[in-house]
Amino acid sequence: MALRFANEKTTYEELVAAVEAAVSGAPPDEVHVVRAGRDGRAVIDTLAAQACRRPALLIPHDAGVDYTARISRDLRAFTDDPERLPNAHGLWTTTSGSTGRPKIVAHDPDGVDRFVRWARTRFALGTDTVSLSLSPINFDIATLDVWAVLAAGGQVVFAPQEDLTNGAALAAAARTHNVSLLQAVPVVLTLIARARTPAPQVRTVVSTGDFYPLETLPDLDAAFPRAALWSVYGSTETNDSFVLDLRGATAGELGDPVDGVHHRIDGTGELVVSTPFQALGYVNAPNDAWRTAEGRREFRTGDLVTTDTDGTLRLSGRSDRQVKVRGVRLSLDAIETVLRHQNGVADAVVTVRSKGSGDRELLAAVLVEPGAAVTNLALRSAVSSALNPTAVPSRTFLTTEPFPVTGTGKTDRNSAIRRLLERQPV
């Protein structure tokens, strides 16, 4: 069996036949835009485009009129550009958009092949692998839990859209389908872990897209008692770059570089990497984040990193998350970290906005665990003690409603704050 979704299933024979039928009617020399729905159609359309050596641009399944109109403009501009990226006939995915407009990333076809070979070996993928897909396939992590699994002859089970925020339902799906590989962003893994219904048949759990909250690691360990628990780090543009055993992880630790990965920290503290899997570049944005040095093509990640005396790399924040408030430079990531480490806090996001006076203010949203006694006063005191008093948010909203996420499964900070502001106007 190749695919399972809803109450349907697709064998490999049926998948091959469907792809061949789609190829026969495919227009030549055209970017194929694929809506990343949670069914076999998106997989078929993507494979058909790749069989024709045409780019397959994967977009959110629920992309609206404005989104698709912007994509159409970007594609026209790309087609008309005489200096457009060469050999860009592979998978195209989008960045999360969590820090601005989503960028279209053209992945290197050879780089994807190298990644698939690495993943099959690193995570022992084979014909007996059953993957539970929990993220849209327009998210680059599908390279592991969809494309690498299919390349290994395994089975991909697509969890229903309505279950993606239901930890108990996802845990049940893992048991029902005898899932052996489970990859997800931390917020989804945490939901599953807190359902407290163990799935001992799972062999491999991979946390990706953000740091896993180590304070909930005992729950994850109990949920998957026989599984290897891994964290993989890497941007959409470079794919996985570092791998870390979560059971031995410490706060902010990136892990060990994947074979073939080179990295350095520049004078500003920014992490620069070169990987065997990295993308060709952006379709709809300048490609000045890439450069060639010492014979290698490098990517400036935007991540700020420090090195311990033993060489351990730790993420300290994002360069685009450094702001000035009342003349003081602050890290929004550092404020979030303090808030997340308080008792009863499940998650926290912090943003900055301009005030009418020309000044800027910090706004925070804190996701409170059910039944926990969390107060604004305690949170303000914690931030003031750990950081600078200027780092204390002007307003902190407490909520028990999960934060909204972007099309790639990451927390949508701006939407989370905006939603709470609309409910509690200044």
- Domain end residue (candidates: 272, 305, 338): 305
- Domain end residue (candidates: 305, 338, 362): 305
Question: What's the number of domains the chain is made of?
Answer: 2
Q: Do 146 and 96 fall into the same domain? A: yes
**Whether the predicted pLDDT of 98 surpasses 60:** no
Residue pointed to by tokens 């109450």: 7
pTM score: 0.83
pLDDT-wise least confident of 4-18, 87-101, 110-124, 311-325:
87-101
| pLDDT 10s digits, 169-190 | 999 999 999 999 999 988 889 8
Is 269 a member of any domain?
yes
Asked if 33 and 94 count as a contact pair (C-beta separation under 8 A), the reply is no
Rounded to 5 degrees, φ, ψ at 33 are -90, 125
Q: Do 243 and 373 fall into the same domain? A: no
- Tell me the two tokens of residue 32: 């194929």
Q: Which domain CATH number covers 74?
A: 3.40.50.12780
Residue pointed to by tokens 């070169």: 274
Is 311 a member of any domain?
no
Q: What burial class does residue 177 get, using C-beta atoms within 10 Å of its C-beta: 0-12 exposed, 13-18 middle, 19+ buried?
A: middle
SS3 for 139? Answer: coil
Identify the domain containing residue 255 by its residue range: 3-305
pLDDT band at 99 (very low <50, low <70, confident <90, very high): very low
- Which residues, 6 or more positions from 278, have their beta carbon under 8 angstroms from its beta carbon? 108, 111, 237, 238, 239, 297, 299
| pLDDT 10s digits, 33-92 | 999 888 889 999 999 999 888 899 998 888 888 888 888 888 888 888 777 788 888 999
End-to-end CA distance of the chain: 55
Q: Do 290 and 410 fall into the same domain? A: no
